[in-house]
Structure formats: C-alpha cells, structure tokens
Amino acid sequence: MAGRLLLRACTTTTLQLRSNVVARPLHRAMSTAKGIPTDEEQATGLERRALQALKRGKDPYSILKPKQYAGTKEDPHIVPCTGTKRLVGCLCEEDNTAIIWFWLHEGDAQRCPSCGSHYKLVHNELPH
Ligand SMILES: [Zn+2]
C-alpha cells in the first residue's frame, strides 16, 4: 500500500531529491498519463469477469459471504443449483455433530426432515 502510494506520488508530481538533482516522474511503458492502473483496469480473465459481475451486484463465484436466511416458509434457505436437484446437508442445531442429508428438488420449498427448516432450490447459471 505504501509502495503504491509512493509510486502514485512519483507519477503525478516531480520530486526534487537534492538541490540540483530532479527526479522525473515514473511512467509505465504504455502509460496513458493516468498513473498506476487500478485492480479493475489491470484484471484479466476470470478475475476481470468476477469484478465486473460484482460491480453489477452479482456473485457468480460465491466470493462474498452467503446471505443469512431465517429458514421459515416465507424466508427459506436459498440453494443455488445448475440442475434439477441437489443434495443438501442441514446442521439442524448449532452444536450438532451429525449432518442431516436430504435431496432438494426443484419446485416449492422443502423442509428438513429433522428440524423443519425450509429450503428452496433456485436455478443458477454459471458464467462460463
Ligand atoms: Zn435440519
């Protein structure tokens, strides 16, 4: 961070190191006189697609912390899926050591057979 700030300061202003020595601003090889490129400007490939999706408010690669759901009928746990069914594990209570596994199918919300929390399958298309 400090290095980046120093480089940015060097590119925007001329530093005078000694009384008779003047340091010229640092320029990139293909500089557009904007200074150091941001992460967004220099990202390529998968990182660029992820940053563009995050800018649009989407999280296609599950980078962000998952949203919390109440698990009620009105606010079921959303389970993203590319197919028509998905195996779901429910840790019914915080201190449980056993996971209750069940198949969640497309359609209406289903309940966990042990605790009764609601889960709903939502179709999710991968970005590639
Ligand atoms: Zn459960």
pLDDT for 31 equals 54
Residue 9 CA to chain centroid, in angstroms? 30
In tens, the pLDDT along 73-124 reads 999 999 989 899 999 999 999 899 999 999 999 999 999 999 999 999 998 8
* Residues lying with their CB under 5 A of ligand 1, a single-atom ion: 90, 92, 112, 114-115
> Rounded to the nearest whole angstrom, what is the distance from the C-alpha of residue 102 to the centroid of ligand 1?
10
> Rounded to the nearest whole angstrom, what is the distance from the C-alpha of residue 83 to the centroid of ligand 1?
22
Distance (Å, whole) CA 119 – CA 115: 12
In tens, the pLDDT along 26-62 reads 555 555 567 888 888 899 998 898 899 889 988 877 7
pLDDT for 37 equals 86
Distance (Å, whole) CA 35 – CA 69: 44
> Rounded to the nearest whole angstrom, what is the distance from the C-alpha of residue 111 to the centroid of ligand 1?
8
Q: From residue 106, give the alpha-carbon distance in Å to each of 79, 111, 116.
A: 10, 13, 18
CA dihedral 51, 54, 59, 64 (to 10 degrees): 90
Encoded tokens for 84: 């028509």
Q: What is the pTM of this model?
A: 0.57
